[in-house]
């Protein structure tokens, strides 16, 4: 996109344009006219450079003036740049890593491996948001504080494994630890995604007591109960070190998870397989989006040197040649 910063200067082109038109119409006033009865003899004279160049010098002078005036109008070449800005959301994911997450009812692997893969994909799609990761079993541990960089959280999710904290299910501690991270957040909104497959049986704080701290902080909690009800396959090692699978009872406190979500304006989801878990995170991803704002910035590059230099060269060159080599004697 080209524009003139001072377009009013282009009005200076009017006088030379009028003068050129008038000289073409009336003839040059400084030239002496001679009358001939027969011009056939002149037609036989061969045209040479010395006869053609003077006329071209006038054209060059005119073009030079046009370029110089256009340069004074400051032509600019504009490049449009778009900058996408948005008010990010602060999101902490609290992931249960208790031994019950070893249940292999989520194909192609156990519950924890599938949850890690889904969370990693979720994190990678949250550009512009600050993400944090809390892991919990018998205790809660901050794996990653709120950071602006989904690849950081995605990488740390891959490192999560069983045994990082003592076994158990401390849902209240997980909520309290996550809220402690979110309270210093500066995002447009604050969200906690709690992923668990069990019943609260550990921790120093009751889950609902911890949940009631979320509302004053403006934190919305989404709870996800993962796994089947009743029985699930678990890998077990026998005395010889061989891995075999046994059926063990599993239980999810859905009533508690519904209360936690309802208390904060969030939602409770139930995932009984890997596809359902991926779909749930997709729904949360769609629910917690901040509208992006696009700022268009136009950067201009000055072009006047590209016109001014050749314009002045043409004018000076035409003037010098017309007064020396191609001087016309009246």
The model's pTM: 0.64
Query: Which pLDDT belongs to residue 127?
Result: 83
Query: Which pLDDT belongs to residue 175?
Result: 97
**Among 46-50, 233-237, 247-251, which stretch is predicted with the lowest mean pLDDT?**
46-50
Domains detected in the chain: 2-33+44-80+296-323 (no CATH), 88-289 (3.40.50.410)
Does 265 have pLDDT greater than 80?
yes
pLDDT band at 305 (very low <50, low <70, confident <90, very high): confident
Q: Are 139 and 162 in contact (CB under 8 A)?
A: no
Residue 139 to residue 273: CA distance in whole angstroms: 26
Three-state DSSP class for 77?
strand
Q: Is the previous residue joined to 30 through a cis bond, with omega within 30 degrees of 0? A: no
Q: Are 68 and 9 in contact (CB under 8 A)?
A: no
Query: Which pLDDT belongs to residue 119?
Result: 95
Query: Which pLDDT belongs to residue 142?
Result: 96
Per-residue pLDDT averaged across 232-252, rounded?
A: 86
Per-residue pLDDT averaged across 202-214, rounded?
A: 95
Per-residue pLDDT averaged across 291-315, rounded?
A: 72
Query: Which pLDDT belongs to residue 26?
Result: 61
Facing residues of 72 across strands?
Answer: none
Sheet holding 75-86: strands in order across?
A: 2-4, 75-86, 292-302
Residue 138 to residue 254: CA distance in whole angstroms: 19
How many residues are present in the chain?
330
Stronger pLDDT, 155 or 299, i.e. the higher one: 155
Stronger pLDDT, 20 or 249, i.e. the higher one: 249
């Amino acid at each position: 996109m080209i524009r003139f910063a001072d377009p009013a200067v282009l009005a200076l082109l009017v006088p030379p344009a009028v003068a050129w038109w008038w000289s073409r119409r009336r003839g040059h006033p400084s030239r002496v006219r001679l009358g001939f009865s027969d011009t056939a003899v002149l037609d036989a004279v061969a045209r040479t450079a010395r006869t053609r160049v003077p006329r071209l010098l006038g054209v060059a002078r005119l073009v030079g003036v046009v370029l110089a005036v256009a340069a004074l109008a400051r032509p600019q070449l504009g490049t449009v740049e778009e900058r996408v800005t948005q008010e990010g959301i602060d999101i902490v994911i609290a992931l249960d890593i208790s031994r019950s997450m070893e249940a292999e009812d989520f194909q192609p692997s156990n519950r924890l491996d599938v949850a890690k893969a889904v969370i990693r994909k979720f994190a990678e799609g949250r550009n512009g948001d600050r993400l944090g990761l809390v892991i919990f079993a018998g205790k809660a541990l901050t794996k990653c504080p709120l950071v602006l960089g989904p690849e950081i959280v995605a990488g740390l999710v891959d490192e999560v494994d069983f045994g990082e904290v003592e076994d158990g299910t401390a849902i209240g501690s997980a909520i309290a630890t996550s809220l402690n991270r979110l309270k210093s957040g500066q995002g447009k909104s604050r969200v906690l995604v709690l992923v668990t497959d069990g019943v609260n049986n550990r921790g120093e704080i009751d889950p609902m007591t911890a949940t009631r701290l979320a509302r004053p902080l403006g934190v919305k909690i989404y709870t996800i109960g993962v796994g089947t009800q009743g029985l699930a396959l678990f890998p077990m090692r026998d005395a010889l070190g061989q891995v075999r699978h046994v059926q063990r009872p599993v239980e999810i406190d859905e009533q508690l998870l519904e209360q936690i979500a309802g208390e904060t304006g969030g939602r409770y989801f139930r995932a009984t397989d890997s596809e359902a878990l991926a779909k749930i995170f997709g729904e949360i991803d769609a629910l917690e989006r901040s509208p992006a704002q696009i700022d268009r910035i136009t950067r201009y590059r000055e072009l006047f040197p590209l016109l001014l230099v050749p314009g002045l060269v043409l004018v000076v060159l035409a003037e010098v040649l017309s007064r020396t080599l191609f001087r016309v004697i009246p």
